[in-house]
Structure 1
Amino acid sequence: MDVFVPQRFGLHLCEYLLIIEPIDQVQKHLQGFKQYFLKNHRYPNAIVSKSHMTLMRFIQYDSYEKHIIKELQLLASTVAPFDVELQGFGSFGHTLFVDVKSTAPILGLVSKRRRELRPLVNGIKGHPPYFVTKPHITIARKLTPPQNEAIWPIWRRTKYNGVFRAKNMTLLKRMMGTHTYAVVAKFNFLDMSPRFSQGKLFA
């Protein structure tokens, strides 16, 4: 996932990602796992860009962007920073990932304003929005069955524990047909009451 300075788009169809990024030593550990994967397995499947956990993914016209940002600001203002505990590795068969032990705060965050967000992110027929149900941080993806059979017995025995403090979430986008994401906005978790935060945001 490459990130660059945001550009001013017109009314275009875009893919959006809402993510939480690990910080400090945990981010370094995760990047180290990706580099190890590339060096030792020699499969071009590792995601060598900055590690992140996807909360939501959707396709929408960027004319909806201001409304989406407003809803995400309101959501983030009511969320308290929380610890994310990582423990061990997991596999979906085609994806190798670091597993998230403390799933409740993450799943709760996504579900808080799903009803308000869904009309804004569910506008493209055949492309329903993705809301996280199994929090994880990808190390490598698009593995073939033989690749997975070769690496999973090694990684399933590998132990790892890490904790980082989630203080914000970031919205990214890329125009359909392109490969580079732009940072749209970062939303700090402010732990304010809903009534107070709404007054601050929409006064």
Structure 2
Amino acid sequence: MVTVSQQAITYQLYEYLLIIKPADHAQKAIEAFKRYLVNSHRYHNAIVSKGHITLMRFLQYESYEQRIIQRLQQIADTIRPFDVELQGFGSFGHTLYIDVKSADPIRQLVAMQRQALRPLLNGSKALTPYFVTKPHVTIARKLTPPQNDAIWPIWKRTHYHDKFRAKNMILLRRMAGTLRYSTVKKFNFLGLPRFGTQGSLFA
């Protein structure tokens, strides 16, 4: 017999976020860029979150979580760690970001996730998942047009280059409508043979 508390857990809706976290040396530079926007321009929307590369974001009920974790683990097991190269800045108008120059390995990884998770994420239009198409690291989001017009001429001329080794991806979640994420699981890239064949992706 299912109790009321068990029902509440089963039908709890979460917002999930799958990310690659930059290595410490890159993270320090990202945090410095965010602090500069806060201290010099008073753009507090630069400190909403730690720097990361979003792979996918989706809403789903907790009852699906273990199956999603299994699929992500299967993918991570076949991926070898790969280099991520950060170079220069870009703007979506409302978002200032660091560009990911070496985007192909990330796009391939996201394509695998889209294929493997589609049966678990298909639902109503309100629950449509987001898969990244242009990998980037957000510096500030929700910029107003005047804010963007003020800072973009400066940042588009600013030089920045760094590289780090992506060794894992991290699944986060938060209750829908809340602010703080918690870690669900870290998936290490192991580079194991895929489906019994030799080699793996991103050699």
TM-score, structure 1 normalization: 0.89
Q: Aligned partners of 1:76 and 1:92: how far apart in 2?
A: 30
Match of 1:142 in 2: 142
Instruction: Report which of the two structures shows the higher radius of gyration computed on alpha carbons.
Output: 2
SS in 2 for 1:27: helix
Does the alignment pair 1:39 with 2:62? Answer: no
- CA apart distance, 1:67: 0.2
Equivalent pairs counted in the alignment come to: 189
Deviation at 1:196?
A: 5.0
Q: 1:122: how far off?
A: 2.3
C-alpha displacement of 1:114: 1.9
Q: 2: CA distance between counterparts of 1:179 and 1:156?
A: 30
Question: Displacement, 1:124?
Answer: 3.8
1:60 Cα offset (Å) = 0.4
Deviation at 1:157, TM superposition (A): 0.6
Matches within 5 A, 1:1-203: 10-11=9-10, 12-195=12-195
Q: Secondary structure at the match of 1:152?
A: helix
Report the Cα distance in structure 2 between the residues aligned to 1:124 and 1:184, rounded to whole angstroms.
24
Unaligned runs of 5+ in 2: 1-7, 198-203
Question: Equivalent residue of 1:45, what SS?
Answer: helix
Query: Partner amino acid for 1:25?
Result: H
State the 1:127 CA deviation: 2.7
CA distance in 2, matches of 1:196, 1:17: 30
Aligned partners of 2:80 and 2:189 also within 8 Å: yes
Identity of aligned residues (%): 63
Q: Per-residue CA shift, 1:1-59, capped at 9, x if unaligned?
A: xxxxxxxx822001000000001211100000000110111122203532111000000
Residue 116 of structure 1, CA deviation: 2.2
Give 1:102 shift: 0.1
Shift of 1:195: 2.5
Residues 57 and 129, structure 2, Cα contact 8 Å, conserved in 1: yes
Moved over 6 A (4+): none
Structure 1 residue runs without a partner (length 5+): 1-8, 198-203
**Larger deviation: 112-121 or 126-135?**
112-121
Instruction: Provide the alpha-carbon RMSD of the alignment.
Output: 1.4
User: Is the contact between residue 18 and residue 169 of structure 1 (CA under 8 Å) also seen in structure 2?
Assistant: yes
- 1:165 is paired with a residue of what secondary structure? strand
AA of the residue aligned to 2:9: G
Give the TM-score of the pair, scaled to structure 2: 0.89
Q: Is the 8 A contact 2:71 2:117 kept in 1?
A: yes
| SS of residue in 1 equivalent to 2:185 | strand
- Distance in structure 1 (CA, Å) of the matches to 2:67 and 2:98: 33
